[in-house]
Structure 1
Amino acid sequence: MEPAANVLDLNQLRRSCSSCALYELCLPAGIGVDDLDRLDATVKDKRALDRGDMLYREGDPFEALYVVRSGALKTFVQNEAGDVQILGFHLPGEILGFDALATNLHVSQAEALERSSICELPYAKLQQVTSEVPALHRQLMRVISREVVEEHRHLVMMGRQQAQEQLASFLRSLADRYQRLHRDGSALNLPMSRYDIANYLGLVVETVSRLFSRMEEMGVLQVNRKSVRILRPELLAALCRSDAAPRRKDAG
């Protein structure tokens, strides 16, 4: 017998994809109740990560894909000398683990930037469900495609000469992702450090700090440590174009 509609089952709320706040982001529109039940049966218990905890490491066997339910993570690679290159930052509703699809081994690492909650989707079970639910399979392909597009954008960003343009594009991309989460895209809470941002953009941390200060002076942003408010989104958009970015000798 199903519980009454007005009774809040906290355990079900924690476990059910249909009750999750990320429902619209992770799942295709119009997925039926029976299909949701199949997906719910696939999801393992939610995993909690503290800041600095590793979700997976390079060389770990591929067992699951992971959906960020709350918090944020970064993915990165590290060479034998210990040098790190950050590949991306992952917000609620975004999926990690695609790096292991080709070889069945993770070729990058994922670390929590703050206390986070993760939905674990064992891949073998997920394959079975997606084979039975074509809409879910199409959604998964769209998510993978979106990851590829983001990687291309990052490569283009890394190749740009104007550091100010790189940072402006990064902040605008975060704002767009916030809006997709139905959050205020003008009020960003950056879970990553200035060093992480600099590493991701291929800059030095002093340049990133200077650029934040410059954008504050221009009236584009209001910055308070990790809280960034976008005051003039139209000017931020203009700074994302190299022909509109101010040309200064210290821009790099």
Structure 2
Amino acid sequence: MATLLLVRHGRTTANASGLLAGRTPGVRLDELGIEQAARAGGRIGTVPLAALVTSPQERCKQTAKAIAVAQRERGHAVTRAVTEKGLAECDYGEWQGRAIKELLREPLWQTVQRQPSAAVFPGGESMVAMQHRAVAAVRRIDAAVTEEHGPGAVWVAVSHGDIIKSVLADALGMHLDLFQRINVDPASVSVVRYAPDRPYVLASNTHDGDLSWLAPKPGRKRRAKAEGAVVGGGAGPGSADH
């Protein structure tokens, strides 16, 4: 079982001005977002990556590039980021490009907050469809990375807030209607491992902290956790069962 790092793009000009960017072309990181992406890249730079995958949106590609730069600076051999349509931003349809303060007055806003499984954006996609294609993409890529690089491999998927929240909700066994309980900030890193028995969410919405404990240990093979979670919580990173 490989380890997946879910990284949200850094802050954008649209985030800062209160607009729902969606798939609008040309939305890029602002000055703070560039700094955030570099900081996330530095944290991830302690871990050699088996794959780097990104949403097609420019802001995610910029964030992925910062991660790739940090990998090269650490001497890791990582290929250029691969674009994956399944990780694209939600198609917000007619909501795209509108101000959040205006959308707050739309009846659909309350559906998105309270029952997102019933939300269908006018001229866009449903939140259920969004989750299905994102989870399918992540699980497909994770299986491929594990098969090619082994269970100790670590890979990164750079995507968007709602996309990452929906993937985390699936990994946690939460209904989509509860996914608004999850927070995913710009340039945050969340960690998921898809084991044979169930997914394990190792971290969520982290901004700081050492990630080197995720790096494969030379000469040590990570054991599959098909036997289930350790009663009592286990010994944690660095122990023999990591």
Q: TM-score range by the shorter chain?
A: under 0.3
Higher relative contact order (CA 8 A, sep 6+): 2
Larger Rg: 1
Report the structure, 1 or 2, having the larger strand content: 1
**TM-score (ref. length: structure 1):** 0.24
TM-score normalised over the length of structure 2? 0.25
